[in-house]
Amino acid sequence: MTIRMYNVGFGDSFLLLLPGKKTILVDAGFHSQGKGAFTANDLARQIVADAKAHSGRARIDVVIATHRHQDHVFAFNSAEWEQLEIGEVWMPWVEDRDNPDAKKLWKKQQGFAMALADAAPGFGLLPDQRAELDFLLWNAGIDITGLVPDAELAAWSNQGALDVLHDGFKHRERSDPRFLPDGNDFPETFESNVITGMKVHVLGPPRDPDEIEELDPASDDETYKALMLQAAMVRHQEVTAPFSAQWRVPDTDLGPRLADDDLKRLKGLAHSADALLAAKAVDDMINSTSLVLVLDIGSARLLLPGDAEWGTWKRILANNKARSLLRGATFFKVGHHGSHNATSKTLVEKVLPREIPAMVSTQEGSGRYRNNIPLDELLTALRDHEISCARSDKGNEVLPDGFVAEASAKWIDLEIAC
């Protein structure tokens, strides 16, 4: 089988080309200010073309959207998907629009984000801090005017991408998405209906919202670097609001209503640690809704953790059956673009086997949110444990053995036995 990692900048998009002309797409992300090799529309066109070249028709058997962050789903806004036939769409359980727990979770997140947008002008943010805050809220699904300069893409939205995943595409064998896990078994295991012989193990997200919101480990020993945002100094001068009028919320109306404790938490974060830390809390919570999947395809075992953070990993690493699955991995997609709290020391040093290949879709860049991504300490640890890792943004450099870049470094391929 071939694992194709597209160079989308700060985001994820992987196409799995399987025997029997089968295909799996994992995310189609696009970073609003990324430095990848594609526009969002071009990414969609390339994926459709690659799937057609492999299978002989415009079809993808399984489309997996790991979580709703824009840098994982934004390109699903493209009209290119209207020509595509699919077997199934898989999404985390929190995207089930009929699930009352999911509704409550997103109502809380949306209310928190919109209240933060309203409060932000009072913090005297410097320009780079303003840009960072805008990105964090945009990535979480708040439409920030001017953040996507392309006129065509300006009409795109997080909600539009999710609508395509729920109801779009030319034809789908299963009309509704498959929301995972769909029960309380952990790990949850099932055999695919559209790819014969593929066994799927679902390790995340947790069904317990409290575990989803547990973002950082209690001990720094669990991560390769305790990366903390510095608190911003509050300025007293007048600051121009960074958000368009449609996202301005009157003091008397905070949008989706927050509980008193949640509103107090927002104010406490803002006054004690700054608006950036509050925005990152929204961002991290969405990461922790990520699907974490182990796919058994023949002799191959692929570990695909999306952007899952500590609450999810804590639960996984405490479960013997889940650890046993991870010990048999033959491929690892490095979580959250190589950040500090998506790949624990325990996972790398005690659980994953040595001498397996890995891929990380990432982009170095300025801004405190992206500083230390990918984390040098993590990349070093992978090398020390003989896990060869290719970076999406380094396709024009010498790659580890087994990885092959497209001539213009638009993607990197890895062939593994299955």
DSSP per-residue string spanning 201-242: EEEES-SSHHHHT--S-SSGGGSS----PPPPPPP-S----S
CA 261 to chain centre: 28
**Segments of the chain scoring below 50 in pLDDT:** 226-256, 269-273, 367-368
What was the pLDDT predicted at 61? 98
Report CA-CA distances (Å) from 36 to 30, 94, 159, 267, 296. Answer: 9, 29, 23, 36, 30
Does residue 347 contact residue 406 with C-beta atoms inside 8 Å? no
DSSP of 300-320: EEEEE-TT--HHHHHHHHT-H
- pLDDT score of 262: 56
Tell me what pLDDT residue 275 has: 72
DSSP 150-168: -TTGGG--HHHHHHHHHH-
Region class of 249: left (phi > 0), else alpha (psi between -120 and 50), else beta: beta
CA distance 151 to 409: 27
DSSP state of 277: H
Cβ-contact 347, 383 below 8 angstroms: no
Segments making up each domain of the chain, as ranges: 100-149+221-284
DSSP state of 399: P
In this predicted structure, what is the pLDDT of residue 245?
A: 37
Q: Provide φ and ψ at 243, rounded to 5°.
A: -120, 150
Q: Looking at the DSSP assignment, which residues form a beta bridge with residue 188?
A: 202
Per-residue pLDDT at 149: 54
